[in-house]
Each structure stands twice: as structure tokens, then as C-alpha cells.
Structure 1
Amino acid sequence: MDRMVVKQLSVFIANESGRVSEVTGILGEAGVNIRGFSVSDTADYGILRLVVDKPEEARDTLARDGFTVRMDDVICIDLPDRPGGLAEVLKIVSSAGVNIEYVYSLVATFVVLNVGDVDRALHLLGDRPVKLVSQDDLSAVGE
């Protein structure tokens, strides 16, 4: 079996308003398509993890713009879309004693935003060509 790995970029950013937007804007201008991402943060800094269609180009572009970027091999799995699908796959790895450091999803166009003022953000997005997704919408996916 070929070594089935995907390249993940970890971008280290100050925990300041607009930094994630800056990184994603730079990638968009460079013609790099983001396939999945995760953001984790502390009081001072954040780590934006990205899977993109052109990882080397993305890394080089961000580095030229002054960002610290690391590229790692990760595993991408097409999960069965059923209750317990994720748990079944994770159990295969974890029961063998391999530590799972973190998990996030890719490709789906649904993203979750945790914001400081939900009502204000909903109001701002409601006037734009943005499709908001409800809990019922999520429950109906795949039906």
C-alpha cells in the first residue's frame, strides 16, 4: 500500500482580531483552496491548522508574508456517515495504543464560528449572501 498521507500546515499566529482572516485572505489571493481547517488558541497565540490543495505553495506564500509555518503528514479518512462511524475508526487506532492528538473535519462546506456576540454576528450575516445552517439542517444531512 502506498503511504496515504496528506500534508497539513500549522500556522502560528498572534491571538488578535483579524489574524485568521489575514491568513485565509493571503491564501485565497494566491489561488490556494482550503479543504479543511482547525483553530486552537491560548491567551497569546493561536495555531491555524490547514489542509489545502497546494500545500507547498501555501507554505511558501505564508512564509514570505512573515508567518511561521510547519508542514506535517496527517491521515485523512472518509468516514461512514452513520452514528458511531467516527468512534469505530478512532477505536482501531487508539486501542492499539497510538495516541490521537486531535481530530477535525474536512471538505464539507459547513463551518462553525464561535463568536463573542452571537446575535450581532447573526444580524451581520443575515444581510449578506451567506447561507446560515440550523440544527435541523444538520440533522437532515444525508437523509
Structure 2
Amino acid sequence: MQASLGILIQTLVDQANDGRRCAFYISEGDTLHHVAGMSSEYAKCVDDFVISPESLACGLAVATGTPVITRDVLNEPRWRPWTWLGLQFSYRGCWSSPVETSAGNLVGSLAMYFAMPREPTSLDLELAAAFTQTAGIIISSHQSA
């Protein structure tokens, strides 16, 4: 699964061709775990991130089942305790989209990171929808195997 999601991430980054970085996170119980995309140093900082309506980014996207678009992490009040993460890993924009299986189970999230503040375009939203749907198929097939 990690290899398949890694290929999916690389395809997304290549298609977008705009310097974004992306990652997939898988839900395990009430927490998220980095599977592919970002560095191991980053993964150490965000592994076991809680899935909750009080969370931000990926944890909130999985909890609500809706994308969470943060144009600028430095200007978002929810991010105040975590702005150090954006600064340390050089991103300002952070978008998170839930990954759902065809059965409707929320199984993880796709995160996109941008060096500068950024709002999504309709193409960005279409890419996220296509890639989260594909990830849902990959994750579901591994969970049922």
C-alpha cells in the first residue's frame, strides 16, 4: 500500500507541476499515520495526530468528511499552536481532503502543502477528488486482503 500511495503522490506532484508537496495519511482508530509523501522527520512530528472536530488539517478533514483548506497557516487561528511546523518544513498553504472508500468509510486523508499562501482552483479540487478516490480504492483493497 505504501508503494502504491507513493506512486500516486508522485503522479499528483508531477501533474500539478507547481512545487506542491503531498502526503497520504491513514486512519488507525482515532489517529492518523503518515504513509507516503513527506520526510520521515515530518512524519515524526505528525504521526498519531488526532481525528476530531477540534483538530486541524487532516484530522479535521477525516472527522468531518469534508476538505479543509487553509490558505495560510500563519493567519489561521486554529494553526497557532502548530505554526512552527509550517515554518520548520517551509509551507504556508495546507489543504487536506478526506479519503473515503466506495463503502463510505473514511480511511485517511490527502494533504497538499504549498510554500506560499494559496487558494485552490477548480482544477486543484478536481485533482484532489480524483486522487482521494483512487487512494480509497488502494486502501480498501489492502484492508480487505
Q: TM-score, normalized by length of structure 1?
A: 0.28
Task: Considering fraction of residues, name the structure with more helix.
Answer: 2
Q: TM-score, normalized by length of structure 2?
A: 0.27
- Structure whose CA Rg is larger: 1
